[in-house]
Amino acid sequence: MASTSFSAPTVGFDLDMTLIDSRPGIRACYLALAERTGTYIDADLAVTRLGPPLAEELIHWFPADEVPAMADLYRSMYPAIAIGPTPALPGAREAVAAVRTAGGRAVVVTAKHEPNAKLHLEYLGIEPDAVVGDLWAEEKAVALREHGASVYVGDHLGDIRGARAADALAVAVATGPYDRDGLTAAGADVVLTDLTEFPDWLASYRPARA
């Protein structure tokens, strides 16, 4: 007789615009960087393009040979400027808690600089089992595979690509730059309005996998 036992999944979560609304803090940090360097940065535009690595945004405002130094400066300024103004998105704490309550593991895999990602989570009281930073799109598959994640939750097309590369179920939330239709068209297996829907989805997903 086939076993009906179920092993709770390890679930990966993106950070920016999935677990946290990082726009206020990032906007403030870009404005501070602009003031510090005397370089114009359209911070309002920049926060509409969150997801890819920092260097991909900085190249719009600085010569290529200055981008590494500007990235280092931005990251050094970030803790004092960006952590406090950044709230958790609705359902974020509950989503991570739901995975752990079900007996699974929750792993945050993000393109954000790992020390700053950890600061956000600590400040907001969100407690995943592991945090891996500085990975984008298909690069995220390395950490997802290492931690045995069978589900990856994110808001960006790059997150869907990362899930696909890891052979994980791509769960998308429409809290970032793409709406439900765009996420579906990009190949998400499941699309949720936001993370408030995640605990119920996880509960229904488990029997289906049993």
Tens of pLDDT, residue by residue, the chain (210 residues):
344 455 789 999 999 999 999 999 999 999 999 999 999 999 999 999 999 999 999 999 999 999 999 999 999 999 999 999 999 999 999 999 999 999 999 999 999 999 999 999 999 999 999 999 999 999 999 999 999 999 999 999 999 999 999 999 999 999 999 999 999 999 999 999 999 999 999 999 964 443
Please report the pLDDT score of residue 189 as a whole number.
97
pTM (two decimals): 0.94
Cα 182 to Cα 118: distance, rounded to the nearest angstrom:
29
Please report the pLDDT score of residue 6 as a whole number.
58
Please report the pLDDT score of residue 3 as a whole number.
41
